[in-house]
Chain A
């Protein structure tokens, strides 16, 4: 699954670190790493509705401005999609809860992560809603 992350939402991308698993972890969070002297929660992709990303061995962690780490298998590059490339998700798509839409580029579909929706979803998952 290839994803798009807006650079405006990124604090930085750092090399992957071993994640300390949280006992009785909250849904959506696999554990924490130490980042700048504080604990940074690391997303469990597999817990997100409609997500087909399986737990793997990430090479990097994208640190969002809102202090959430997204484990990444690889980084493809940066791009500026033309306005016409954007598409809404289909109605009822479960990924709507954490994606803002898709971007069609050269026959490839990229999914854009929406950090606000994602964090709101994680809060709801934590509260069991």
Chain B
């Protein structure tokens, strides 16, 4: 229905960029419908949606012009799908061809858009770019280059070299500026010039004219502009082969010059239009599909046994596993390796180390872990600030270190580890530590602390994160970066994370950041307890063992010559105690030494292992020991938080001892 409303608005005169945004949206909608219908076993519906999707694809690529008759045909097509959907809901059989009544106009449209020679026109070869770079343009980007050149719009290349710390924000500013001036077609990474630090990009944009002053470059930012393709180089014979822009049959503006471009789009529309990269589009389409399919399929799975639906369970199982695959693929697209954060830190540290004259031994751990791309975008700046602070304020100059008997090179260790539903980052240096006396004095001076009271080291460390604590001196020391520790804390807490500081005088500092993951793929050992299914992350599973004699909470079990205390999972989670269990899982911390805490966790049944898509629980539903859940064919599988379970098991065992 929404698609039909969008189509109705397209009958009114609209600027070209608004039409383009509408067509892109309709393309995604029909693509989603196609996927959903296919997954749910309605092939004819899927085929019909595919046919409409093709028409929208031709429109968005500029191969079909949006006219009243085209829009009316598509409206009729969407109505046919809508009414077909209503019939399916009532349990009626699928028709062979949902679009039967439209076969003639649709056929005409498809024929109209088909190139005479059976191929498609591609003018990207006119771009003055290396062949390797041209190869990275997506099909959509190629089409936009072609359409825009034929419509008389020059294509420019803007090269920028941006600072590591602020490149996300600056790139967004450049993209939006180019979007306002015309159309941003692609953003491509480039090699950073040898004499520069930072990250370099090429932004390919079509706009009438472009000068450096249009781009709001900051001082020190290296910006270059080049004309990549001049529309006058488009062979005259091609000018009419591709309709210039998908647009309504609006009268042309008065007295346009031959190469006059369309009016630049309005800023508020630019956000919608400027998502040309196919990866982003595919991500969006899949996101919608997965969300809707997951809900529909889960509901079906639960309703099927009771309502006599008759759908074979095997088919539902296939849908479920197919969904998991799609979700995993989607998740992979959403995730980036922590390594990508580390790779930004390394050159920054090298550069700062050189500038400050402080040699640093930099080590990273946990780069293989993954975090969500949007999280990385928001997390990077506060993280980089903390690393800069560690170098600037934490590590001493070589002479001072030598005088203290330390090696002249400082040590900076940055590690990432998954702890429960959180990704935990540690920034550890072996510098001077926080000057707690000075912090206390400053706190009293600013009225944040009362004189004459004892303030714990934890309180004093925490004080540096308070708004207003920053002194003029500190601001000067981090000038040009625009953020203080209070801003870091605000950013991290806005992500639902936490920051914790600790230090020891002359021994070093530890800054620990935890940010929650909304979802992740976790390899689990599946077990059953109290008629519910649980997953234990495999990285925390030391051993799985079955025994003949029934075990009870508080028993000791022998595991490879080591005696371990056993506690039932039920006792850990506050569920009724089992009468006896014949299997246990040795639970420990990943990569921890043998002497670290290990517990034998009693379970009712071992089910096997598998990968599950973990979704975190909303805050109101946080339950002790549960990291999140995963929708499975037979209900929700609860993924245990191993660290929390270890703590709960120890507490329960202590209570047992106290009761004796």
Interface positions of A (Cβ within 8 A of B): 17-18, 20-26, 28-29, 31-32, 34-41, 67-68, 119, 122-123, 126
Taking CB atoms, residues of chain B closer than 8 Å to A41 are: 617-618, 620-621
User: Could you tell me the dominant secondary structure of chain B's interface residues?
Assistant: mixed
Taking CB atoms, residues of chain B closer than 8 Å to A38 are: 615, 618
With A22-B623, A34-B294, A37-B295 known as contacts, the answer to whether A17 contacts B573 (CB < 8 A) is no
Taking CB atoms, residues of chain B closer than 8 Å to A123 are: 619-620
Taking CB atoms, residues of chain A closer than 8 Å to B622 are: 26, 126
9 contacts between A and B (CB under 8 A): A23-B623, A23-B626, A24-B624, A28-B620, A29-B620, A32-B617, A37-B290, A67-B618, A123-B619
* Nearest Cβ on chain A to B292's Cβ, whole angstroms: 8
A49 to B294, CA, bound (A): 35
Query: How many residues of B sit at the interface, in one of the four size bands?
Result: 20 to 34
- Does B474 sit at the interface, judged by CB under 8 A? no
* Nearest Cβ on chain A to B258's Cβ, whole angstroms: 51
Once the chains bind, are B532 and A119 in contact (CB under 8 Å)?
Answer: no
* Nearest Cβ on chain B to A29's Cβ, whole angstroms: 5
Once the chains bind, are A22 and B626 in contact (CB under 8 Å)?
Answer: yes
Once the chains bind, are B298 and A40 in contact (CB under 8 Å)?
Answer: no
User: Could you tell me the dominant secondary structure of chain A's interface residues?
Assistant: mixed
A99 to B636, CA, bound (A): 32
Once the chains bind, are A24 and B573 in contact (CB under 8 Å)?
Answer: yes
Taking CB atoms, residues of chain B closer than 8 Å to A29 are: 620-621
Taking CB atoms, residues of chain A closer than 8 Å to B617 are: 22, 32, 39, 41
Interface positions of B (Cβ within 8 A of A): 290-292, 294-295, 298-299, 302, 530, 532, 534, 573-575, 615-626, 628-629, 631, 635-636, 638
With A20-B629, A20-B635, A39-B615 known as contacts, the answer to whether A26 contacts B295 (CB < 8 A) is no
* Nearest Cβ on chain A to B334's Cβ, whole angstroms: 13
A22 to B623, CA, bound (A): 7
Once the chains bind, are A37 and B291 in contact (CB under 8 Å)?
Answer: yes
Once the chains bind, are B621 and A17 in contact (CB under 8 Å)?
Answer: no
Once the chains bind, are A32 and B575 in contact (CB under 8 Å)?
Answer: no
Once the chains bind, are B625 and A24 in contact (CB under 8 Å)?
Answer: yes
Taking CB atoms, residues of chain A closer than 8 Å to B295 are: 34-37
Taking CB atoms, residues of chain A closer than 8 Å to B294 are: 34, 37
Taking CB atoms, residues of chain A closer than 8 Å to B620 are: 26, 28-29, 41, 68, 119, 122-123, 126
A29 to B294, CA, bound (A): 23
A-B pairs with the 8 shortest C-beta distances? A37-B291, A20-B636, A41-B621, A24-B574, A24-B573, A41-B620, A23-B573, A22-B623
* Nearest Cβ on chain B to A38's Cβ, whole angstroms: 7
* Nearest Cβ on chain B to A34's Cβ, whole angstroms: 5
Once the chains bind, are B621 and A32 in contact (CB under 8 Å)?
Answer: yes
* Nearest Cβ on chain A to B330's Cβ, whole angstroms: 10
